[in-house]
Amino acid sequence: MLHTVNKSPWQAPSLEACLAHLGDERLLLIEDGVYAALAASDAAARLDDPARDGRIYALGPDLEARGIGTDQLAAGVEVVDYAGFVQLVAAHGPHQAWL
């Protein structure tokens, strides 16, 4: 299964709820959800375990819009573009959006 979170972790408990249900599945951070991947923030630690397994992704255009460079991302977070988003859905669907 592919999960997406589109809210900042300080704005809504969506990330927390998603991670509580993530299990061994994959999470793609999109829109304001990408702020959770900022290595220096107090949110990034929550992604440690799944990121180590290569199961956390962040959408590149949303990072770029927000001025987040790949060097500022938490370790293990993989950046994908829109085509990569589609590939994730195709490979790991169904998709659940945590709004």
CB 1 within 8 A of CB 26: yes
- Starting from the edge strand earliest in sequence, which strands make up the sheet with 95-98, in order? 78-80, 56-59, 26-29, 2-5, 95-98
Stretch that binds other proteins, among 18-26, 46-54, 60-68, 88-96 (CB under 8 A): 60-68
Residue 33 to residues 61, 87, Cα–Cα distance (Å): 12, 19
Can residue 61 be called a binding residue for other proteins (CB under 8 A)?
Answer: yes
60 closest CA partner among 50, 69, 71: 69
Answer for which of 41, 80, 89, 92 binds other proteins (CB under 8 A) is 41
Can residue 39 be called a binding residue for other proteins (CB under 8 A)?
Answer: yes
Can residue 37 be called a binding residue for other proteins (CB under 8 A)?
Answer: no
Can residue 66 be called a binding residue for other proteins (CB under 8 A)?
Answer: yes
Which residues of this protein are in contact with other proteins, per CB under 8 A?
Answer: 6-8, 10-11, 31-32, 35, 38-42, 44, 60-62, 64-69
